Structures are given as C-alpha cells and as structure tokens.
C-alpha cells in the first residue's frame, strides 16, 4: 500500500509540474538579415537592410488575477561582421521591465519612440526598412529613448492610448533632453489609425524638438493603402548629416521646421508582395530645402519565417538639401540605392 501511495504521489507531482512552469516563461527570438547594397558608386554586403538583425529574450511571470511581470532584452547585431549594432550597446534595441495587468501595461527602460513607431509601423509599406524606408526623409528625433517610463492603456472598442516619459540624465540642467511621448491608436478590422507626438528638451539655448504624425492604413484585400502626415519643429527634428555627402558648394543645414507627407501601397500576389511609396519633405525654413523620395520594392516569402527582398529608391534634393537613401540599419551615402537580400526570423 505504501508503494502504491508513493507511485500515486509521484505521478501527482509530475502532473502538477506543467502548471507550475506555465506560470513563468522565457522565450528566445531573433532575426537575421543580410543583403547586397549598391549606392552612389559603392557596392557592399551589409546587415539589417529590411529589418535590423537582432537576438532577444522576453519573459513573463504570472502574478495572479491577470497580473504579469514582463521583461524584454533585445540586442542589435551586424550579421556581416558579428559586431554589436546601436554603437556597441549590449541590448541597444530594447531593454525594459514592467507589469502587464487588466489596467494596462507599465514598463521602464530603453524603449521605442512613439512617433517613430507610428511612422514605420502604420504609415510605411516598407516598415522602415530597405531603400524605401520612410525614415530617410520623414522627421523623428530618435528611434529609441533611454530612461523611459511607458504606460499603455487596455484596448477599448479598438482604441488604445500610450504615454511615455523620458528622464533626460544628460547634463546637470534638469530639463535638458527630457522627453514626453503621447499616442492614440484605433484599430477596427481593415482600418488602422494612429496619432503620435514625441517631444524632448533641446540642447542648451535651443528650442524643444517636436515630432507629430497622423498615420493610417487600410486593407482592401487586394491591396493595402498607407498614408501619413507629420510636422517637425526644432533642431534635430529631421534627419541630417553634417558631412555634406554631395560635396555642394554650400554646406547643408538641418531643417528646424518641416512637414512630411507619405503615401504608399502594398499588393500581395501569392507569396510575392509588391511595395511602393512616395514621400515629400516640405521644409518651411527660409532655405526651403525640400526633398522627395520615390521607392519601389518586392518581397517573396520562402516560408512563414524566411523571405527574399529587392528594393530601389531615389531622393530628389532641392536647394542644397542632403537627404540620403539608407535602410533599416544604415543612413546611406547618396541620393539613390538598390538592395537585394534575405531575412530569416526565429
């Protein structure tokens, strides 16, 4: 009888183990992307053309009554050299911990800029990658922001709200580099809309940097239409590179007041998806350094997790503007680029 009881107790314990382990989980995930890039006389093999290569860990622990402890650690890497991306930061893509509950999600750490997310996730058929990346022209002050506290509300009839506050910690001036992000999203079947604004304190003696965008897309079945309109003010509110890549007689200057308009489309044809977009940068400064980008591309799904891609984009700069065609990882070196590559998610 004692042996029978011992066997029953053992099986009872084993049966309970999955329930215990199900309360806490850690997932390993990642993406590897590599492609050939031809731009302004340069041919190279590079990493993260359609999306940044990465290795990540995310976990949850059930705390009861619908509450969970959550974390994400995501490291950017360069598949062509094996080095770290994001200037060598170990977990430079994301690093946060928080609580998810019926009242919403609260997280703390290095997290995505809300305006940048709305631009790439909602308004851009290229999703911020390949030569057609909207981030080549459209304004944003940073892709990610350190030292942030972020709260996202529960979904209510398709509506969610997000607020994110970043503690500057850059200088002894209390307000310097502090940031505030606000976003309001709406999803209803084929329609997705998002209004987002990201503000941060300017450098000493300079105005605050503000980026605002209204982004949307609609899936018609045979195609998905994308659109966005943004307003950018302050030094650093738009992409700018001081090295004057075109060797113009007058060195370029960054825009401190601009508007961005983007329209695009994606057309699924079986395993193939065709992509196209047009972006207009309207510089409101006296120099009127406008620019337009036209991009086309395609992806072909080899499986659910692997795809090949090809893309081409051309920027037309005006009045000594110096915007460049880059991709998801690099800023580019000229006004046009061609990409072909492969990405695999795991």
Q: What is the DSSP string of 7-36?
A: HHHHHHHHHHHHHHHHTEEEEEEEEEEEEE
Report pTM.
0.89
Name the DSSP class of 115: H
Model pLDDT, residue 245: 72
Model pLDDT, residue 12: 43
Residues of the chain with pLDDT under 70: 1-22, 170-176, 203-205, 241-242, 248-250
Tell me the C-alpha to C-alpha distance, in Å, between residue 168 and each of 142, 165, 327.
Answer: 13, 9, 28
The predicted-structure confidence for 225-254, as pLDDT tens digits, reads as follows 999 999 999 988 988 766 777 776 667 788
CA–CA dist 23, 19 (Å, integer): 7
The two tokens of residue 133 are 């990346």
Residue corresponding to tokens 């915007």: 323
CA–CA dist 160, 22 (Å, integer): 28
CA–CA dist 189, 219 (Å, integer): 9
Model pLDDT, residue 2: 43
Please answer whether residues 318 and 291 qualify as being in contact, where contact means their C-beta atoms are separated by less than 8 angstroms. Answer: yes
Query: Which residues on neighbouring strands pair with residue 338, listed in sequence order?
Result: 38, 312
The two tokens of residue 327 are 């991709």
Query: Which residues on neighbouring strands pair with residue 143, listed in sequence order?
Result: none
Model pLDDT, residue 305: 97
CA–CA dist 131, 340 (Å, integer): 10
Mention every residue, 6+ apart, whose C-beta is less than 8 A from residue 273.
266, 267, 298, 299, 300, 301
CA–CA dist 260, 215 (Å, integer): 11
Model pLDDT, residue 294: 98
CA–CA dist 142, 201 (Å, integer): 13
Model pLDDT, residue 205: 66
Phi, psi of 267 (to 5 degrees): -125, 110
CA–CA dist 134, 48 (Å, integer): 15
Model pLDDT, residue 202: 73
């Amino acid at each position: 009888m004692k042996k029978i009881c011992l066997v029953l107790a053992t099986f009872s314990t084993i049966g309970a183990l999955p329930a215990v382990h199900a309360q806490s989980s850690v997932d390993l995930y990642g993406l590897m992307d590599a492609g050939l890039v031809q731009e302004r006389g340069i041919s190279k093999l590079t990493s993260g053309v359609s999306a940044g290569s990465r290795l990540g860990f995310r976990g949850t622990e059930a705390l009861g009554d619908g509450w969970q402890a959550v974390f994400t650690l995501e490291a950017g890497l360069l598949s062509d050299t094996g080095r770290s991306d994001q200037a060598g930061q170990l977990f430079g893509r994301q690093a946060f911990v928080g609580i998810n509950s019926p009242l919403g999600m609260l997280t703390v750490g290095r997290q995505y800029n809300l305006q940048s997310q709305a631009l790439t996730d909602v308004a851009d058929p290229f999703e911020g990658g390949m030569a057609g990346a909207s981030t080549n022209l459209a304004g944003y002050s940073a892709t990610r922001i350190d030292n942030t506290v972020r709260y996202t509300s529960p979904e209510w009839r398709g509506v969610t709200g997000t607020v994110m506050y970043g503690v500057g910690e850059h200088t002894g001036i209390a307000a310097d580099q502090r940031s505030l992000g606000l976003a309001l999203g709406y999803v209803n079947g084929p329609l997705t809309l998002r209004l987002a604004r990201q503000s941060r304190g300017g450098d000493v003696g300079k105005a605050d940097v503000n980026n605002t965008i209204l982004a949307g897309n609609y899936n018609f079945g045979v195609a998905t239409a994308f659109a966005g309109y943004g307003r950018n003010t302050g030094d650093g509110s738009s992409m700018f590179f001081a090295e004057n890549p075109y060797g113009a007689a007058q060195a370029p200057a960054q825009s401190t007041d601009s508007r961005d308009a983007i329209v695009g489309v994606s057309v699924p044809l079986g395993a193939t998806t065709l992509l196209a977009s047009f972006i207009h940068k309207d510089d409101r400064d006296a120099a009127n350094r406008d620019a337009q980008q036209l991009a086309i591309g395609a992806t072909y799904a080899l499986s659910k997790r692997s795809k090949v891609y090809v893309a081409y984009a051309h920027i037309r700069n005006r009045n000594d503007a110096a915007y460049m065609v880059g991709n998801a990882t690099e800023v580019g070196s000229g006004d046009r680029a061609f990409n072909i590559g492969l990405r695999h998610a795991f």
